[in-house]
């Protein structure tokens, strides 16, 4: 697993941008990584004749003061870039050019991850890069204490958990494996008796438990939780994650062209939009 040496945090003028910056500083300190701070000035949809020109020097000064305030105790080495252009494309280009190991962004307002379409800067970054993206949704009070990671036992899920474990060494880890079982409706539809259904469920549970245990021995020590589901898992999994009071959700993806390629297919995109905790989305390298 590669060491995190460069972290890029993209900020704007929102409240969550400050939290994303603070989280990025904390992670950079813990991993002895260099921090790259980036603010993108997006062009207006329509240029108004009365619009004032953007004062980049003033923006740079304000952001520098904020960084220095948050960084006063940690003294993390950083670089600041103020650039103009479409946010997602500009951030992506800078991240790839500088070969960063982690992107940190805040979720908020017009870029709210709960949008019903994949149009936000955050979601575009998840779709179009091979760089892990940490989505900060909450006020930063301490290092992550409780990490929860759903898995389908795939190789890319394994990579996502290994990356998170290396990045957040002090966090308690809990792994979730949701496996499909035979629902009562399926048993009735296919005329399976109660006894036969119980036997089939027992076999599926045993096989799932064995595969899950093997997976955990390969990714690192952590608490294990098996979850059975029949037809749908989205709401049940979200409710479970919410109940656990975790502060970091780890999701793995097998590709960048389609959010539905995530660990649970559409379930992961559902969680990215609706989970209230911070989320680390990991995409394996293309190399």
Q: Which of 141, 168, 192 is the last residue of a domain?
A: 141
Are 258 and 223 part of one and the same domain?
yes
Which pLDDT score is estimated for 114?
A: 44
Total tally of structural domains belonging to the chain = 2
Are 2 and 134 part of one and the same domain?
yes
Q: What is the mean pLDDT of the chain?
A: 84
User: How far apart are the C-alpha atoms of 206 and 30, rounded to whole Å?
Assistant: 40
Which pLDDT score is estimated for 224?
A: 96
What percentage of residues in the chain have a pLDDT greater than 70? 82
Dump pLDDT digits (tens) for 116-143: 333 478 878 887 888 999 999 999 999 9
DSSP state, 49?
T
Are 99 and 207 part of one and the same domain?
no
Are 157 and 75 part of one and the same domain?
no
Mean pLDDT in residue range 17-39: 96
Q: Which of 87, 120, 141 is the last residue of a domain?
A: 141
Confidence (pTM): 0.87
Domain that holds residue 268: 144-287
Are 42 and 132 part of one and the same domain?
yes
pLDDT at 259 over 80: no
Dump pLDDT digits (tens) for 192-247: 788 887 888 888 899 999 999 999 999 999 999 998 875 567 888 888 898 988 99
Are 135 and 17 part of one and the same domain?
yes
For residue 15, what pLDDT band results from cuts at 50, 70 and 90? confident
Residue 24 C-beta-side C-alpha neighbours within 13 Å: 33
Residue 171 and residue 140 in contact, taking contact as beta carbons nearer than 8 Å: no
DSSP string over 181-239: ---HHHHHHTT--HHHHHHHHHHHHHHHHHHHHHHHHHH---EEEEEEESS--HHHHHH
Which pLDDT score is estimated for 14?
A: 77
Which positions ≥6 away from 8 have C-beta within 8 Å? 36, 37, 38, 91, 94, 95, 98, 100, 102, 103, 104
Are 148 and 286 part of one and the same domain?
yes
CATH number, domain of 87, equals 3.40.50.620
Dump pLDDT digits (tens) for 43-71: 765 455 555 677 889 999 999 999 999 99
pLDDT at 185 over 80: no
Are 131 and 164 part of one and the same domain?
no
Which pLDDT score is estimated for 102?
A: 97
Are 236 and 277 part of one and the same domain?
yes
Mean pLDDT in residue range 275-279: 94
Mean pLDDT in residue range 132-156: 93
Are 82 and 210 part of one and the same domain?
no
pLDDT at 188 over 70: no
Q: What are the two backbone dihedrals, phi and then psi, of residue 200, each rounded to the nearest 5 degrees?
A: -65, -40
Block residue for tokens 């952001």: 63
Q: Which of 141, 160, 179 is the last residue of a domain?
A: 141
Residue 87 and residue 123 in contact, taking contact as beta carbons nearer than 8 Å: no
Which pLDDT score is estimated for 271?
A: 85
pLDDT at 253 over 60: yes
Are 1 and 136 part of one and the same domain?
yes
Are 155 and 262 part of one and the same domain?
yes
Mean pLDDT in residue range 277-284: 89
């Amino acid at each position: 697993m590669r060491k995190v040496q460069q972290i890029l945090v993209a900020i704007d003028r929102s409240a969550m941008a400050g939290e994303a910056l603070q989280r990025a500083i904390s992670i950079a300190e813990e991993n002895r990584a260099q921090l790259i701070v980036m603010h993108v000035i997006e062009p207006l949809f329509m240029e108004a004749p009365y619009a004032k020109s953007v004062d980049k020097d003033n923006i740079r000064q304000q952001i520098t003061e904020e960084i220095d305030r948050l960084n006063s105790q940690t003294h993390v080495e950083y670089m600041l870039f103020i650039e103009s252009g479409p946010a997602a494309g500009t951030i992506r280009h800078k991240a790839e050019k500088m070969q960063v190991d982690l992107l940190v962004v805040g979720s908020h307002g017009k870029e709210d991850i709960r949008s019903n379409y994949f149009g936000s800067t955050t979601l575009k970054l998840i779709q179009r890069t091979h760089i892990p993206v940490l989505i900060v949704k909450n006020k930063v009070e301490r290092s992550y204490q409780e990490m929860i990671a759903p898995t389908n036992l795939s190789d890319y899920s394994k990579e996502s958990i290994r990356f998170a474990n290396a990045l957040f060494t002090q966090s308690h880890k809990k792994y979730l494996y949701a496996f499909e079982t035979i629902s009562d409706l399926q048993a009735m539809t296919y005329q399976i008796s109660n006894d036969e259904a119980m036997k089939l469920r027992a076999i599926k549970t045993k096989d799932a438990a064995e595969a899950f245990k093997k997976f955990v021995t390969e990714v690192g020590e952590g608490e294990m939780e098996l979850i059975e589901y029949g037809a749908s898992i989205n709401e049940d999994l979200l409710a479970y994650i919410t109940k656990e009071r975790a502060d970091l959700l780890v999701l793995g993806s097998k590709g960048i062209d389609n959010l539905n390629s995530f660990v649970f297919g559409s379930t992961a995109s559902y969680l990215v939009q609706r989970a209230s905790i911070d989320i680390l989305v990991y995409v394996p390298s293309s190399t």
